[in-house]
Amino acid sequence: MKNDLQKILLNENDIRKRIQELGLEIDRHYEGREILLVTLLDGAIVFAADLIRNLSSPLRLDCLRVSSYGNSTDPETAPRILSSLKSEVEGKDVLLVDDILDTGNTMQRVSEEVLSKNPASLKTCVFLDKPDRRQNHFRATWSGFFIPDEFVVGYGLDYAGQYRQLPYVGTLKPSIYEK
């Protein structure tokens, strides 16, 4: 798998350090209030697990399955929400957690869905942010890393279901996805 990478963009130590910082920033914001942390599956599961371990605020966890990429390197134009939340959202402080903020379409769609359920507040945290790809004005409350417009894998991010288990983030050789 490592041979499929063009370069490593973010190493394990940098990722671990930044997630610790994010945990502190989020805890300061919520000041001990309970968070309903909603993870967007599948890509954000690795990031969410590490983020949760770095939070001291009380939290409840829920997951939402959203389809954005399929087996492509380009996000679908209309993200589809494939499951519903188990938790009651009304009156809760909701934190949406995703792996990557690319076009902004997925987070905007999910945010609108959650806001329709009347939370007390809604904040967002993304592992990676690609502002050059944005198709709307959506901005995450917290971003782990801002990255260039390159297709990345690892640390939960995949290409056609592969590479999620890599403990770092790298760019794929174009020959892998241009087949």
**Rounded to an integer, what distance in angstroms lies between the CA atom of residue 173 and that of residue 158?**
13
Q: What is the DSSP track for 38-97?
A: EEEETTTHHHHHHHHHT--S-EEEEEEEEES-TTSSS--SS-EE-S--SS--TT-EEEEE
pLDDT in tens, the chain (179 residues): 778 999 999 999 999 999 999 999 999 999 989 999 999 988 899 999 999 999 999 999 999 987 665 555 555 556 666 567 788 999 999 999 999 999 999 999 999 999 999 999 999 999 999 999 899 999 999 999 999 999 899 999 999 889 999 999 999 998 888 86
* Beta carbons of 92 and 64 less than 8 angstroms apart: no
Question: Which position among 62, 99, 102, 129 bears the catalytic label?
Answer: 102
What are φ and ψ of residue 42, in 5° steps? Answer: -100, -30
pLDDT at residue 49 in the model: 97
* Beta carbons of 153 and 174 less than 8 angstroms apart: no
- Tokens matching residue 61: 């966890």
The sheet carrying 80-81 orders its strands as: 80-81, 59-67, 35-41, 93-101, 121-129, 142-146
Q: Where are the domains of the chain?
A: 12-148
What residues pair up with 124 in beta bridges, in sequence order? 96
The yes-or-no answer on residue 4 being catalytic is no
Q: What is the CATH number of domain 12-148?
A: 3.40.50.2020
* Beta carbons of 169 and 9 less than 8 angstroms apart: yes
Overall residue count recorded for the chain in this entry: 179
